[in-house]
Each structure stands twice: as C-alpha cells, then as structure tokens.
Amino acid sequence: MSPSPYPGTDLTSANTLGLPCTAEHFAAPASLAELQAALAEARARDWPLTLLGGGSNLILPERLPGLVIRPAMATWWLEEGENDRVRVHVEAGVVWHELVMALARRGLWGTENLALIPGHCGAAPIQNIGAYGVELCEVLEALQVVDLADGREAWMTPQECAFGYRDSIFKGRLAGRVVITRLVLCLSRTARPRLAYGDLAGRVGKAPTPLAVAEAVCAIRRDKLPDPAVLGNAGSFFKNPVVEAGLAERLLLEHPGMPHFPQLDGRVKLAAGWLIDRCGLKGLREGHFGVHERQALVLVHFGGGSAAELLGFAARVASRVQERFGVTLEREPRLAGER
C-alpha cells in the first residue's frame, strides 16, 4: 500500500489540559467529502479512529494510534423561520463561544447562557453542554452525523439523541460509531432571558439583551474558572451527582447549607464542587496536578504530567468524597481511545 497521506502530528496544544500527545496519523477535513475520504482511508488501512473537537472535554494519552480526525468544516448561516424563530445551521468545526457571541450580537435568544463554554460545535451535543440553567438540547432542532463504518450521512432529532444531564446517545450506543458534522439550532428574536441562576439577574438589569446576558455569563465564568491558555484544565472535571432522596435528606440533616436541587424523578442533584471543597481539597496539589484554588470542581494541570497521573489524582479526590459523604463522583471529560 502507498505511504499514508495523513502524517502524524503533536496534539499537545489541541487539548485544553495541555497533556502531551502524538497522533500516529492526523486529518483535519474541511468538507464533508474530505471527511468521507479520510474515513475511507482509515477503513482501507484498518486504522483505529479517534475524533477530536476543540479538546476541551478530553483527556489525551501520550500516543494515539491510527487516525485522529478533527473536523475543520467551520461555516454557519441563518435561516428565517416562522414568527420570531430563526434557524442557525452550524458546521462541526465552528468554535462554540464565537458562535454564541455572534448570535447574541444579532439579538438572538437561546444560547446566551452558554457563553464561554470551550470547544467546537460538533462536540457540544456529546455531553449536552449546559450552564446557568440552560442545556443545548433546549435549542437543538436537528443534527447531522456521518457513520464511521461506511461514510453515510443521516439526520437525527433531539429525541433520537437521548439527551440527559451531561449525557447523550453519543456517549452510549453511538460512541465511536458516528461523527457529528452539523447542528441546526432554533433561536428566537423575542426576549426570553433565563436569569434564575446565581446572581445573573443582578448583573444585567431589568431589560437585558442577549449580548448583556452573554457578557455577564462570561464575567462570572472568568471570576470562577481558570483560563486554559494560562493553566491547563478541562473545565468541570466531575458531574454534579444525582442521588436518591433518602441520601440527600440524611446529608442535609448533617449539612443544612448543602446546595441541593430536586429533580423531576424525585432524586436530588448535589454540587460536586461543594462536596470536594468540604473535604478540604480546594487548592490541593499533588505532583503535576491539583484542585483549583477558587473552584473545587476544576482539576488543573501545572505542566509536565500525564493522563495516567491525572486519572490517579482524580480517583483520590473522588475517593475522599465517597468516604465522607457516601456520594460517587463521575468523571466528565472522556478519555480518548476509551471504549
């Protein structure tokens, strides 16, 4: 067989944790045809496949065998809908935060609470990104996928995506089977601010614009979260655990000020950052990794570490929470190559 048309590349700068990683082969298709050609090449050579977006919710090992594909299709456009509705067609390689700010500047409501979430649009549905009381599934109308096995295109509805809290079918049955290539979002020109989270309402006034809300969200996030360009991190490292009501009641008797959020199914969501903080772990550093000094939900990389070291550190943090509260913490960023 002829030499590979896809040379390897260093991916250290392609993940916000800043973990050292080399891809054996790498492709950044800028069109659907280029993506399908790369997939065909991988099938012909029997290469394992890894999909990479903005690298913001990802843990990379030191080496990724086979072909790493990072979709580079990066255009978006608007389509006027009925009444006040506007459809936004977005390709996978568009940077999510840049899209949110552009839509907010156009006066479109729906994504402003999701400002400053890092990553590319193609990865957003995988964990059903959410912040400040809003989740992606609330504005998603449809998405396009390409089957990794045969290159065929298909469209999916939100119902078919099986969205949940930081979850979707792309973490389950379709994990490693499709690549998301386009989103269709449905936004509104009518003011629909969602300001119940934290002090968001107090930051934007009585008649906010989408841009004012987005900028307030950015300010709050910058106050609490480290900039990955300065200190490597993957944002929230653990999901907020959802526990049975009985356990939540017992914990509230011991800790009356514990943040808790009743769910529709009767269970209760707890704040993972609060649990970690109450274990005295905020600001803890072990080797090349630590718990951020201002936000205990964020694990940070000081440089020079590896994925194995990070996972060991995270396991020790989760173990401390389990020992004190009887609550299991689940990792949010996925490990590349993990099946």
332 is known as an active-site residue: yes
Scanning the structure block, which residue is given the tokens 């299991």? 328
Could you tell me if 210 and 216 are in contact, meaning their C-beta atoms sit under 8 angstroms apart? no
**Which of 299, 246, 237 lies closest to 268, judged by CA?**
246
Could you tell me if 65 and 106 are in contact, meaning their C-beta atoms sit under 8 angstroms apart? no
- Beta-carbon contacts of 145 under 8 Å, excluding residues fewer than 6 positions away, are 153, 154, 155, 156, 174, 178, 179, 180, 181
Could you tell me if 177 and 147 are in contact, meaning their C-beta atoms sit under 8 angstroms apart? yes
306 is known as an active-site residue: no
d(CA 129, CA 127): 5
SS3 172: coil
- Catalytic-role residue among 43, 267, 332, 334: 332
Could you tell me if 228 and 151 are in contact, meaning their C-beta atoms sit under 8 angstroms apart? no
Encoded amino acid at 47, one letter? W
Distance of CA 222 to the CA centre of its chain: 17
Q: How many of the other CB atoms lie within 10 Å of CB of 43?
A: 15
Measured in degrees and rounded to the nearest 5, phi and psi for residue 110 equal: 140, -35
Could you tell me if 147 and 154 are in contact, meaning their C-beta atoms sit under 8 angstroms apart? yes
Encoded amino acid at 24, one letter? E
Could you tell me if 237 and 310 are in contact, meaning their C-beta atoms sit under 8 angstroms apart? no
- Catalytic-role residue among 70, 112, 138, 236: 236
Whole-angstrom CA distances from 300 to 13, 26, 117 are 15, 27, 17
SS3 78: strand
Q: How many of the other CB atoms lie within 10 Å of CB of 88?
A: 24
Structure tokens at 119: 């990553």
- Catalytic-role residue among 70, 166, 182, 278: 166
Active-site annotation, residues: 166, 236, 332
